[in-house]
């Protein structure tokens, strides 16, 4: 069970890799919380996140609240199938969290500056 947060190509982007669970929650929460205070629009690339449990979802919900309270936005990009299933079961998209499920473009990490 490993977990890693990789800095994105812009200040408002992080890539979560591995399993976001109770064992990795403290590390994830510190990084995501710090970043959500620095930007108004935070994009989390979940294309390499293989698992998320309730502690991971709590972190995302906290970041969502922190951002929206300041007029910002949380965007969850490219969730894997197991992670998307959790989001669907919890109705996260229906509660205002933006989930971008479009296929991730290949091309050396360039994401068009969005």
pLDDT of 73-87, one tens digit each?
A: 999 999 999 999 999
Dihedral sign of CA atoms 71, 41, 29, 18 in order = positive
What's residue 106's pLDDT? Answer: 53
**pLDDT score of 109:** 42
Considering the chain, what is the average pLDDT of its residues? 88
Q: Around Cβ 63, how many Cβ atoms within 10 Å?
A: 23
Give the contacts of 88 (CB within 8 A, at least 6 positions apart): none
Residue 110 has pLDDT above 80, yes or no: no
Q: How many angstroms separate the Cα of 87 from the Cα of each of 83, 91, 108?
A: 6, 6, 28
* Other CB atoms within 10 A of residue 87 CB: 20
Q: Is the pLDDT of residue 108 over 50?
A: no
pLDDT one-digit tens code per residue, 15-72: 999 999 999 999 999 999 999 999 999 999 999 999 999 999 999 999 999 999 999 9
Domains of the chain: 3-100 (3.30.750.24)
């Amino acid at each position: 069970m490993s977990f890693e947060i990789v800095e994105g190509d812009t200040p408002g982007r992080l890539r979560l890799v591995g399993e976001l669970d109770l064992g990795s929650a403290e590390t994830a929460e510190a990084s995501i919380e710090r970043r959500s205070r620095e930007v108004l629009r935070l994009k989390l690339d979940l294309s390499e996140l293989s698992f998320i449990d309730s502690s991971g979802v709590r972190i995302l919900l906290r970041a969502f609240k922190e951002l929206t309270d300041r007029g910002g936005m949380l965007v969850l990009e490219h969730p894997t199938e197991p992670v998307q299933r959790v989001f669907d079961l919890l109705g996260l998209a229906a509660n205002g969290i933006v989930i971008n499920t479009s296929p991730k473009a290949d091309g050396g990490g360039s994401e068009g500056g969005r």
